[in-house]
Amino acid sequence: MTTRAIDFARRYAAQILAAISLAMLFASCHKRATRNECQTIFDRIVELELGEIGYRDPALAARKRRHLTWRHRATIAECIGRRLPPNALRCIQKAKSTEELSHQCLR
């Protein structure tokens, strides 16, 4: 692995953990995340990250997405049952960056 790939993997893993952790911290009137909702959050983070680093080839992006889903399956599982703020999924789909997703949609 190249240094750039290792740096990406570390940065990416940290952002995923931060975003899903934020989703886990919500209180009271927020609904509980289902497996599909957690997968949707993760998939959107992956989509945004791949776009930000320049993955334009659909076949390579799909392969990377499958690998990351497998690699972070425990984190995705931890998300299930955690609280999500109202309209979080709508915001996640509209987010233009992972920073926007984690700072605006999951708080």
In this predicted model, what pLDDT tens digit does every residue of 26-45 receive, in sequence order?
A: 444 568 899 999 999 999 99
Question: How confident is the model at residue 34, as a pLDDT?
Answer: 93
The Cα-based distances of 65 to 20, 32, 72, 90 in angstroms read: 17, 25, 11, 21
Decide if 104 contacts 49 (C-beta within 8 A): no
Q: Mean pLDDT, to the nearest integer, of 48-66?
A: 87
Decide if 101 contacts 23 (C-beta within 8 A): no
Extended beta strands in 2-107, E state: 31-32, 83-84
Q: Kindly report the backbone phi and psi dihedral angles of residue 82, in degrees, each rounded to the nearest multiple of 5, phi listed first.
A: -75, 160
- Percent of the chain scoring above 70 in pLDDT: 78
Query: Tokens 């399956």 label which residue?
Result: 73
The tally of domains found in the chain comes to: 1
Range of the domain at 74: 3-105
